[in-house]
Each structure stands twice: as C-alpha cells, then as structure tokens.
Amino acid sequence: MPLAVYLFAVSWPLAMAFALLFSAARPILWRMLPLAALPALMLGMLQTTPDLVSGAWFVLGLSMGLDQVSRLFLIFTATLWIAASSAARHWMRDDARATGFGVLFLMAMSGNLGLILSKDAMAFYGAFALMSFASYGLVLHTRDPGAQSAARLYIGFVVIGELILFSGLVLAATQSGSILLADMRAADLSGLTVALLLVGFGIKLGVMPLHFWLPPAHGAAPVPASAVLSGAMIKAGLFGILSAVPLGVVAYPDHGTLVMAAGMVTIFAALLLGVQESSAKTVLGYSSVSQMGIIALGLGAALMTPEAWPALLPVLVFLAAHHALSKGAMFLGVGAWAAQTGRVARLILGAALLAPALVLAGMPFSSGGFGKEALKSALVLGSEVWLPWLTLALTLSGLATTFLMARALANLWTNPPKAPRTKPEALALPFLSLAGVAIALPVIWPVLDDRIAAPVLAAKPGALWPLAVGVLIALTAAVAAYAQKIGLRAFFSGITAPGRALSDQLGRQWAAKRRAARRVGTAVPRSLSNHAHRWRLGQTAIAGLIVAVMMIEATATLRATQIKTPAVLLSAPSQEMELDKPDLSTDRQMEDADAARDTFSDRYGPSGRSPD
C-alpha cells in the first residue's frame, strides 16, 4: 500500500478540522463528521497482509504500516470513532462551543489513528502527543467548575506522562540503535527503559496508582468525547506497550510483579471508589480503570514469563476490542437515555443498556466471558506461584464489574445526566449500532483474523455464577441503602403495605357481602309477606293446612286397619298347637277363651272369625 494512503487516513480528520474553522463550510462538515474515520476503517479492512512503507523526505524518516495487531486495533478504534462522531454531530447541534469541540475532536481522532499506523518512535510520539493534548479541550469543554478541575488534573498527568514517555523512547532508540518500534520491541532494553515506558504508557492506560485523571475526565467531558476517551484513547497506552516493550523477548520479573500487583489492586480498588460516585459517567470511568486492571494482569505475566507471550498476545488484543466497543456503547447509551423525554423510551433504552453492561461483566458466550476464560488459560503458561491468585482475581472481577454497572444504571434514574435538546432517535441509533457490534464481537472476530481469534474462541464460554452473585448482592445493597435512607419503620411499613391493602380490600368485600346478605334476609320475608297479602295467601294457607292435617289423619286410620298375621313356624307343628290353641281341660280356661272371643267380636265385628 502506498504511503499516501496511510497519510490520507491520518490527515483526513485534520483537514476536516481545519475546514471547520470556516463558517461557510461548517454545515456540510458537521454532516460529514462520521466519515472522518471511514478511510482508516477501510484501510484496516482491505489491508489484510502486514505492510511497512517509509518516506525519507520526513525529518528523520517516516515509517507507517500495518501488522496483525495494529490492523485489529485500527478496525475497532475507527468503528468507535465513527459511532461517537455520529452522536457528536447531534449532541453539539445547539452548543455555543460546538466549533471548538469539533476541531479538537477531529485532532484527537487524527492522533489516535496516527499512532496506530506509525511504525517509528518519532511519528508515534507525535501522534500520541496530538491525541493527548487535543483531549484536554474535550475535557474542559463545558467550562464549569467540575470540568475545570478535571481538566487541570488531566493536563498535569498528560505533561508528566509525555515527559516520561519521551525519555523512555529516547533510551529505547539508543539501546536498540533504531527509531523503529519493531527494533525496540526486539532489543534487550534495560530495566530503567522498560520502567519509563511502562509508566508513560500506564498513565494513559489508567492503571492504579496512575488513574487519578481518568474518572473525573470521563465525567466532565461530553458524552461523545467520553466514549472515545474510555474506549479508544486509553487503549493507546496498551498499544504503545505492545509496540515498544520487548514482551516475549526478555524477562523482567520485578516489573512483572509490580504490574500484576497493580492490576489486582486496580480491579477491586476501582470498585470501592466507583460505587461511591453519584454520576453514571464517573462510575463508568472507574469501571474502565477496573477493566484495565485485567489487562495489567496479562501484561505482568508476560513481563515475568516471556514464554507465555504468544498465548497472551491474542487474548489482550481481543480484550482491548471487547472493552472499547462495550464501554463506548455504554457511554453513548447514557447520552441517548438522557436525551429521551418519555418514560417508555427511557425504559426501552435502559433495557438496551443491559446488553453491553452484561458483556462487560462477563456474561457467558459474550466477548467478556470468552476473553476472561481465554486469559485464564493463557496465564497457565506463566508463573505457577501467581496463577491461583490471578485466576481468583479474574473470576471475582465479574463481581466488581457487575457492581459498577449496577451503580451506573441506578444513577441514571436517581441523577440523570444533562443532555442537549435534539432528536432522541438521532442519539439512540449510534448507541444501538455500537452495542450490536459489541454483542456480535465473538462472531465478527474470526472473520477479521481467524489465526489471532483461535485461542479466544477455543476458550470456555465463561461462568454465570459471578454475574448472578453480583446481581444478587447489588440488589441487596440497593434495598439496604433504600431502607437506611427512609428509615427501617417506613421501610417495613412499605413492605407490608401491599398485604395490609389486600387484607383491607378483602375485609371491605366481606363486610359488603354481609351487608348484602342482611339486606336480602330482611327484604325476602317482607317481600313474601307483601305478596301473600296481595294474593290473600293467608286464608289459603290456613285452608291448605287444615286439608293437610285431615289427609294425614285419614292416612293414619287406613294404616291402622291393616292386620298382619303372626308368623307361623311350620317346622314344629306340635309346638304350634300348644301356642295357638287353648287348653280346654278346665272351666277357667274355657271362660278365658269366651272372654277373648267376645273381645275380638267387639273389636272386629260379628262377622270376624277366629285366627285359626
């Protein structure tokens, strides 16, 4: 690829920034803002083979090109800049300082893309400085006290970091005998040189204790600037370490120990600091610091054990792309949510924000889940002493990220950020597009480079329990904080209020039914009495009662005339005779028989006959 193509990809945003100074060109340039990073994206997509071109006409020579790592960095960085530019052209529509923001935004974009394409130390440092100093204006944009304080802190770290980085690059060029980054990366650099490079790039990376500038800057800058500050510019620190430090060549155990220790502290200290913030953007800034702690674990392992570097490199590049796209989507989503005026629209965008938040937290089968599991597998090749602690830190990092995401989403409702008056859908579209790319990253990554994607896709999809436990603890903490805020008595009263309301409702319904039953019990007899009086049913009822009594008496008389013959035992005739026939042997017995006959005749009449 000719050098002019690389220069055009870098200088096109600068040309647009210069043209933006002329009022006549501003309307069309603001519409063209998303196209500023398009040449760089196309270059990364089309240049699939390593390439290095030079120009001797520059001061000390100029070398630009792409290799396997820088090509992937260029693709996801340009993608993020395009999405942020699409949001910026609407975010700044009615801003009085829109022109200044646009100029600095394009300058920072040019520097960010330029350092990725640069292959010599001088061009790299120039692009790195352009990006850093232009970003100062983005942080200072609103000019309020918070922005001024954050900008002062940011520029102080930038100046110190640039001096340290310049010193490290000069020593690296001297010791390697070349200003080419590839030669520095292959040389046996001294411990001091590596330390300077790590600190210089580490300030931009935001690893503790070099992180102090990052969360305030993210909170103060406008949303489009925050997206690229967190998603793209802090990755410039990682890219610089990958480009200039001889990872995988020389072992630096002391440096590796410090970097890994800083990474583990960063993961969890950022959580403790971030959950205390009330601004969603600041919390997301601390989340970026925590995520860079994960990157530091891999860098520390590579410094300590060069043999693990071939396995660590593809994972670190994938984690960089994962964080850039997901965190950029989170920042754009915060702005899109704040611009909505309807409650339903905010609920929909709030639900959409859960997608990149879960990806960052390490949801199984997402880029976060694959990336962490791949890093665990790569760390097996490193120090056996550190391996259990690194594995534990990576596992628990899902809890830390979940807490921070929950805090950021809660702050959206309790402390909504300011947003300009613009078309809500104009800000929602870049967010949703970038979130879709972040979700689909495990599918897109092998299409971009199947060789570097193989170690990541071969990893496990990730564990669900850290995310689930984090959500449970976050909900518990939210409930406890709410109870403490309103008081325990009011809290328990609120919890039991639905039960009391249901009990009262049931009581009212039962009382209403009892009143209705009483009314019915009173009304029915009265109604029957009225009908009886109207139809003269009283005399009829008495007559019916008399008839019923007479019928009952008649029925009883008929039943009494029915005579039942006593049972006769046929099996004992002798006994039957003794029982049925009287013994007439004496006069007394005969008189008794006559008396019995007279009694029978009186009762049944003269026609009655003896039972035998």
Kindly state whether residue 547 falls inside one of the protein's structural domains: no
- pLDDT (0 to 100) of residue 528: 65
Kindly state whether residue 53 falls inside one of the protein's structural domains: yes
pLDDT band at 239 (very low <50, low <70, confident <90, very high): very high
The total of other beta-carbon atoms located within 10 Å of residue 499's CB is: 9
pLDDT surpasses 60 at 612? no
- Residue 340 near residue 424 (C-beta atoms within 8 A): yes
Q: How many CA atoms lie within 13 A of 276 on its CB side?
A: 6
- Residue 234 near residue 204 (C-beta atoms within 8 A): yes
Q: What percent of the chain has pLDDT over 90?
A: 57
pLDDT surpasses 60 at 561? no
pLDDT surpasses 90 at 562? no
- pLDDT (0 to 100) of residue 526: 72
Q: Which domain holds residue 95?
A: 3-486
The total of other beta-carbon atoms located within 10 Å of residue 509's CB is: 10
Q: What is the pLDDT of residues 205-215, one digit of tens each?
A: 989 888 889 99
**One-letter amino acid of 535:** W
Residue that has been written with the tokens 């930038």 in this structure:
158
Please tell me the pTM assigned to this model.
Answer: 0.80
- Residue 74 near residue 116 (C-beta atoms within 8 A): yes
Q: How far apart are CA 178 and CA 190, in angstroms?
A: 15
CA distances from 102 to 29, 89, 91 (A): 10, 9, 11
**Distance between start and end Cα atoms, the chain:** 143
* Mean pLDDT along residues 80-108: 93
Kindly state whether residue 584 falls inside one of the protein's structural domains: no
Kindly state whether residue 88 falls inside one of the protein's structural domains: yes
- pLDDT (0 to 100) of residue 434: 95
Residue that has been written with the tokens 């120009």 in this structure:
55
Local structure of residue 255 (DSSP, 8 states): H
Q: What is the pLDDT of residues 410-436, one digit of tens each?
A: 988 888 888 888 887 888 999 999 999
- pLDDT (0 to 100) of residue 224: 94
- Residue 313 near residue 290 (C-beta atoms within 8 A): no
Which residue(s) pair with 255 in the sheet?
none
* Mean pLDDT along residues 121-134: 94
Q: How far apart are CA 4 and CA 494, in angstroms?
A: 69
Residue that has been written with the tokens 């929909």 in this structure:
348
Phi/psi-derived region of residue 65, left when phi > 0, alpha when psi is between -120 and 50, beta in every other case: left
Kindly state whether residue 320 falls inside one of the protein's structural domains: yes
Nearest residue to 466 (alpha-carbon basis) of 235, 271, 331: 271
Q: What is the pLDDT of residues 264-295, one digit of tens each?
A: 999 999 989 998 888 999 999 999 999 999 99
CA distances from 318 to 129, 141, 353, 459 (A): 25, 32, 22, 12
Q: What is the pLDDT of residues 573-583, one digit of tens each?
A: 444 444 444 44
Q: How would you write 180-224 as a 3-class SS string?
A: EHHHHHHCCCCHHHHHHHHHHHHHHHCCCCCCCCHHHHHHHCCHH
User: Between residues 157 and 55, which one has the greater pLDDT?
Assistant: 157
pLDDT band at 518 (very low <50, low <70, confident <90, very high): confident
* Mean pLDDT along residues 226-248: 93
- The DSSP line for 460-499 is ----SHHHHHHHHHHHHHHHHHHHHHH-HHHHHHHHHHHH
pLDDT band at 519 (very low <50, low <70, confident <90, very high): confident
pLDDT surpasses 50 at 477? yes
- Residue 53 near residue 108 (C-beta atoms within 8 A): no
pLDDT band at 557 (very low <50, low <70, confident <90, very high): low
Q: Looking at the 3D structure of the chain, how many domains does it have?
A: 1
- pLDDT (0 to 100) of residue 532: 60
The total of other beta-carbon atoms located within 10 Å of residue 488's CB is: 9
- pLDDT (0 to 100) of residue 325: 96
- pLDDT (0 to 100) of residue 515: 82
- pLDDT (0 to 100) of residue 588: 59
pLDDT surpasses 90 at 541? no
Kindly state whether residue 335 falls inside one of the protein's structural domains: yes
- pLDDT (0 to 100) of residue 390: 87
- pLDDT (0 to 100) of residue 172: 95
- pLDDT (0 to 100) of residue 341: 83
pLDDT band at 537 (very low <50, low <70, confident <90, very high): low
Look at residue 226 and give its three-state secondary structure. helix
Kindly state whether residue 522 falls inside one of the protein's structural domains: no
Kindly state whether residue 148 falls inside one of the protein's structural domains: yes
Q: What percent of the chain has pLDDT over 70?
A: 87
Q: What is the mean pLDDT of the chain?
A: 86
What stretches of 19-123 adopt beta strand conformation (E)? 51-55, 62-66
Which residue(s) pair with 180 in the sheet?
120
Q: What is the pLDDT of residues 26-53, one digit of tens each?
A: 999 999 999 999 999 999 999 888 999 9
Q: What is the pLDDT of residues 143-196, one digit of tens each?
A: 999 999 999 999 999 999 999 999 999 999 999 999 999 999 999 999 999 999
pLDDT surpasses 80 at 2? yes
- pLDDT (0 to 100) of residue 521: 72
